[in-house]
């Protein structure tokens, strides 16, 4: 492993990491969200900073403390996350681990929606933009290494590989979310690249993060040789 001047292999590299859920408001007191804890993304931000990268963490609501050596930007909705992620570019590395809500409420009610004789409200949803696909699209600001996640309950490898090509990113970390991942400290993942698939056995999310950060450092050292 090659290292930078102070022994840290990612010194001088910029990284943007997204983590946590998004929260899509329905009205001033309610919203749509999901079960992402943010722990895996926070651990990745921390591991990249430990290797010397300058890390911006764009985070949905998690309640987690800011990792040492990381700058955090707090967001709520997918649209806010997209804007903050793009504002963090240019960067060498993007790791988009957030569980972005796929849909938002079309028209957020300015006041609290009340019960009434008309029965329950109908909530019209519209699809959120795909932050990962936008960051991975060719262009002057595209990070050299764009890594996405795939949260799946079935056919993990096939679905992760389909996301790799659909979104145009370089690597996908495939996550089986059917058993005990959300909020847990452990995780088992597949690393899916154009060169093949690796299976990383269940281990602490901090260990997955260190392994991924080391792989990222190896990648940059290999291409700069």
Q: Return d(Cα 199, Cα 176) in angstroms, integer.
A: 12
129 appears as a binding residue in the annotation = yes
172 appears as a binding residue in the annotation = no
Q: Return d(Cα 164, Cα 160) in angstroms, integer.
A: 6
102 appears as a binding residue in the annotation = yes
SS3 174: strand
The CB-based long-range contact list for 3-6 (8 Å cut-off, 24+ gap) reads 4/52, 6/52
User: Which residue number, 9 or 136, has a Cβ lying nearer to ligand CTP?
Assistant: 136
39 appears as a binding residue in the annotation = no
- In the list Ca ion, ligand CTP, none, the entry touching 62 (Cβ below 5 to 8 angstroms by class) is none
- In the list Ca ion, ligand CTP, none, the entry touching 164 (Cβ below 5 to 8 angstroms by class) is none
Q: Is 92 exposed, middle or buried (0-12, 13-18, 19+ CB in 10 A)?
A: middle
What residue ranges bind ligand CTP (CB under 6 A)?
Answer: 18, 78, 96, 98, 100, 102, 128, 130-132, 148-151, 163
Select from 46-54, 96-104, 165-173, 197-205 the region that touches Ca ion (CB under 5 A).
Answer: 96-104
User: Which residue number, 167 or 210, has a Cβ lying nearer to Ca ion?
Assistant: 167
Q: Return d(Cα 156, Cα 141) in angstroms, integer.
A: 30
Q: Is 101 exposed, middle or buried (0-12, 13-18, 19+ CB in 10 A)?
A: buried
Residue 221 a catalytic site member: no
Q: Return d(Cα 4, Cα 209) in angstroms, integer.
A: 20
| Residue 102 near Ca ion by CB under 5 A | yes
Select from 72-80, 95-103, 127-135, 185-193 the region that touches Ca ion (CB under 5 A).
Answer: 95-103
User: Which residue number, 47 or 131, has a Cβ lying nearer to ligand CTP?
Assistant: 131
Q: H or E element: which one contains 84? A: helix 78-87
- Provide the binding-site residues for Ca ion, judged by CB under 5 A: 102
Which residues are annotated as catalytic? 34
| Binding site as annotated, residues for CTP | 102, 112, 129-132, 149, 163, 167
């Amino acid at each position: 492993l090659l290292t930078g001047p102070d022994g840290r292999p990612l010194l001088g590299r910029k990284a943007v990491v997204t983590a946590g859920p998004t929260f899509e408001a329905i009205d001033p007191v309610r919203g749509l969200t999901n079960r992402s804890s943010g722990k895996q993304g926070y651990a990745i931000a921390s591991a990249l900073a430990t290797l010397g990268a300058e890390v911006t963490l764009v985070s949905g609501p998690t309640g987690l403390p800011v990792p040492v050596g990381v700058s955090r930007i707090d967001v709520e909705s997918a649209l806010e996350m997209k804007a903050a992620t793009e504002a963090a570019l240019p960067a060498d590395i993007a790791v988009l681990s957030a569980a972005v809500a796929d849909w938002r409420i079309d028209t957020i009610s300015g006041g609290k929606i009340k019960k009434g004789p008309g029965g329950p409200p109908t909530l019209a949803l519209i699809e959120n933009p795909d932050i990962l696909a936008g960051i991975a699209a060719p262009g002057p600001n595209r990070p050299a290494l764009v890594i996405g996640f795939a949260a799946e309950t079935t056919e993990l490898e096939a679905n992760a590989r389909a996301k790799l090509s659909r979104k145009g990113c370089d690597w996908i970390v495939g996550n089986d979310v059917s058993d005990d991942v959300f909020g847990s400290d452990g995780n088992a993942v597949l690393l899916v690249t154009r060169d093949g698939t690796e299976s990383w056995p269940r281990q602490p999310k901090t260990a997955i993060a260190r392994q991924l950060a080391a792989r990222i450092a190896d990648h940059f050292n290999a291409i700069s040789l």
